[in-house]
Structure 1
Amino acid sequence: MEELLKNPVFASHLLAASGSVAIGTALSYPLDTVKTLIQVGASSSKKLTATQVLERVKSVSGYPGLYSGIGWLTVGRIAGLGARFGVHEFLTAFYKDGRIDNYVYVSEALLSGMISGALESCLNSPFEMIKLRKQVAAAIPIPSTSNAATKSAAAPMMSRLLPGYIPNSLALDRTVNLLSVLSSKNHNMAEALKNYPWMMTGSGKPPDVTDVRRPQDIVRLEGWRSLWRGLRTGIARDSIFGGVFFGSWQFLHLAMLDWKAVGMDPPPETNDEIGPLSPLVVSLSAGFSGSMAAAASHGFDTSRTRSQCIVLPKYLAKERKYLKWSRPGNWFERFSGMHPSDRNLLFRGISTRMARSGLASFFLVGTYYMAVDYLIAKS
């Protein structure tokens, strides 16, 4: 590995790839925040618009709230996109082995894109989970926790599951009043209920997503496996995205090579004789392919985004396991991990995601080509 890093060509490509991912993520991240909040805040009777989301984020956390969680997504995308393009290049090199020219069929590019997308989803899932929680927290006002007396009201069990969490005293008093008609030997029922994790919010419901937004809070309350929640939906989403992206990009690349070869005398026998395409044309084709891939995989993206926004404590997950809880929905929804309540919400925010994916793909490929040309020429 040290020898590879000392290689100027490899180091130039590594530096250019990391910089292009960071630039593409930074320029398209506000659209990703708007898309996420539209998906999370949508319901069958309510449809949020981009203007409403922007006004909400502006009133709660200001314009910097649009970039909440960008660091986590940048790190995850550097690893995820590195795996996506690396596996794709490895598989296409296997396909091209033994052929006269560097020719890859569209079906081969689609298959390699699906495989690389599945690996990308596994690597990027924890970072995407934390990023989404921070985006949602940027649009919801968080109550002040400066009252020391209120902090001391937390039970030891609650402090171990979610340190710093403040229980809802109104909900707890309401629950105590409902249970006061029952005979009980414990006269201090409120303090007794605080020792049960099911009553940490006072009503039996899990905490809000704004209370479980830090990585350590997610791990303590929901466990390590929660960082990969919705993995099956994510694998389906990224497999479709990667397959459509690389398949359509290869189709456009071959079409542009054929267009460039028109009028050449003598006619080229291989694609290598045509010459490379301009970086602008390649970037535009990548942006168009990214938009098409986003549209094809948007239903799974909405389902995964909404599932990652649900707080599922460890004790509830264990109950479902012991009770052999079965997933709701038809066979396809159970197999893919989708929830039946999201059937009418799968296409919310599709235009915003298409714009975000197209913009990110355009700047990713464009800045990569420009950076590689500059670094290699300089070295």
Structure 2
Amino acid sequence: MFFMIINYIILGVLAFLITFLITPVIRKTAINSNILDNPCDRKIHKIPLPRLGGIAIAISFFFSLSVGYILIRPEKNGGIEALAGISIGASIIVFIGIWDDIRGLNATKKFMGQFASAFSILSFGFIINQVNVPFLGVMDIGNPLGALLAIFWVVGIMNAINFIDGIDGLAGTVTLFILVALSVISYIAGQIQMVIICLILASAILGFLRYNIYKASIFMGDCGAMLLGFVTATITIKVLFQNPNIVASSAVPVLIFGLPIVDATWGILRRFRKGRSPFSADLGHLHHRLIDLGLSQDKALLTLGLINILSISAGLVIVFLKSEILSIILCGSMLIIALFIVIFLGKKSPIDYQCQDNLEPRPKTDEISL
């Protein structure tokens, strides 16, 4: 047990240091290569900023995961298949994300890449084959439907995390607390390999947040946001959807991802109502609305962070107490809170802005401080 804890500490420190040390290098490389996120009407930042920070997180994640395999030998715990599945799927989505950050992808090509990464994990056992419905118990789901649900969940969470990556530090902070919750649940479920993955990714995010919290000097880009969404979504399938007996309701994953899901659902419905693509950009996300109310970026981050913690805490309470009645009460309460937030912040119709970043002339690197 002592050596296991030491190994965890080594992996956490390693993942943190790698991201912390190589992010400035990637930032300078992105600036010199003019791979920048340019300001426009629908964006909050005022100067061009590099957007390849997700590469630092990805390098840290994959390298630390390899070291973790050597130190902890997860195959002894039946975890080699899960690690292989997550690694392959994550590699696909990182490639798609880097391509999008550098060259630009339209929504269709990006969605196809997301679908490919989600589809790749099915053969490694990441299928939603059971759900736990209060008062009805565990219900088995057929394999075709379970596979479709798994793909829908992974693609949905990837986009939800990507949608909230609109102000400094938000996507990283939200995902960090989600990973803390998933690590606790993974430990309860006896999924030690998932605990390791949570620890490594959370530590990598911490190393990156040093440069991404307000005022950010680099963005994680689609590469980083989609990687965070992919990994957390697949972990959820393994530790919650495939271990329904440890929770009183399969609504727990929805509560843990409450903030990103509410923001994404609201955004998609809002765009459909206007006859627009659900992936088109506007200034209608929750973080945009809070800033419209006069909050600074750091205060908007704090506000949404507290809402995120509240929703996650509700999910953890259900996990620990395993009460069906309590799960219904908490889910109902969080739904009311979500509706209140959406109605309150949605009174003013968002302005539709168009900004095709990858088609704009790149600013000169001397406009940005190295």
- TM-score range relative to shorter protein: under 0.3
> Structure 1 length as normaliser, TM-score?
0.26
- Structure showing greater radius of gyration is 1
> Structure 2 length as normaliser, TM-score?
0.26
